[in-house]
Amino acid sequence: MTIEHFFAVALFALVTTGTPGPNNIMFAASGANYGIRKTLPHMLGVNLGLGSLHLLMGLGLGAVFLNFPLLQQVLKVVGSGYLLWLAWKMLGISMLPSATTEKRKPMTVYQGAVFQYVNPKAWVMAIGANVSFGMAGDMYWPSVASIIILYLLVGPCTNLSWITFGKTIGLFLSSAKRLKVFNIVMACLTASCLFFIW
């Protein structure tokens, strides 16, 4: 493998993990509501889940999805339902009285990882990376390993920028009313991801 290959995969990882999507919207919301440190388990889960998805693509799952379009439609329906549930959950948080907001908890490692399996953007990233940068023959598994490693290196950096962005916004949301408005906006943005899915 050449340095150009690594650069291309890293650039693809940077673009796909850095652009707006369900994960990044939730990172910003979590950063604003819980802070950076409490959002780190969520971030770890997302990257572990995405890494395992890349591995499954390397094992041939991507070809199954490409050959059976019905599975793609099932994923869209399930992913859409889960995104709407997350949006509803964010909206519910914004409606809680301030006294009970202290009991809220950010997503766990497990929840962040499992979400990748119903996150359509994660599937697009994993299939796209495997199809675009997976090499034939003896270089196949080294190329799959390079995809996984580079995503695990680049992903946390872009994730952290979204979490920090949310935390920074959170500093200006000193009142419960402002935080409520922010959470409503984040819920609407999460639901709007359905437009890109369909």
**Nearest alpha carbon to residue 26 among 197, 193, 174:** 193
Q: What's the token pair of residue 116?
A: 């990748």
Q: In the prediction, which pLDDT does 94 show?
A: 54
Q: In the prediction, which pLDDT does 92 show?
A: 66
Q: In the prediction, which pLDDT does 101 show?
A: 46
Instruction: For residues 131-153, give the mean pLDDT.
Output: 91
Please check the confidence at residue 99 and state whether its pLDDT lies above 70.
no
Q: How many other C-beta atoms can be found within 10 angstroms of the C-beta atom of residue 16?
A: 21
Q: In the prediction, which pLDDT does 162 show?
A: 95
Q: In the prediction, which pLDDT does 111 show?
A: 94
Q: In the prediction, which pLDDT does 100 show?
A: 46
Q: What's the token pair of residue 181?
A: 């408005």
pLDDT tens string 22-66: 899 899 999 998 999 999 999 999 999 999 999 999 898 877 776
Cα–Cα distances (Å) from 168 to 26, 30, 55, in that order, read 15, 11, 34
Number of domains in the chain: 1
Q: How many other C-beta atoms can be found within 10 angstroms of the C-beta atom of residue 10?
A: 17
Cα–Cα distances (Å) from 127 to 19, 88, 118, 162, in that order, read 17, 29, 14, 24
Q: At a CB cut-off of 8 Å and minimum separation 6, what does 103 contact?
A: none
Q: At a CB cut-off of 8 Å and minimum separation 6, what does 55 contact?
A: 144, 148
> Residue 37's domain spans which residues?
3-197
Q: What's the token pair of residue 104?
A: 């809220």
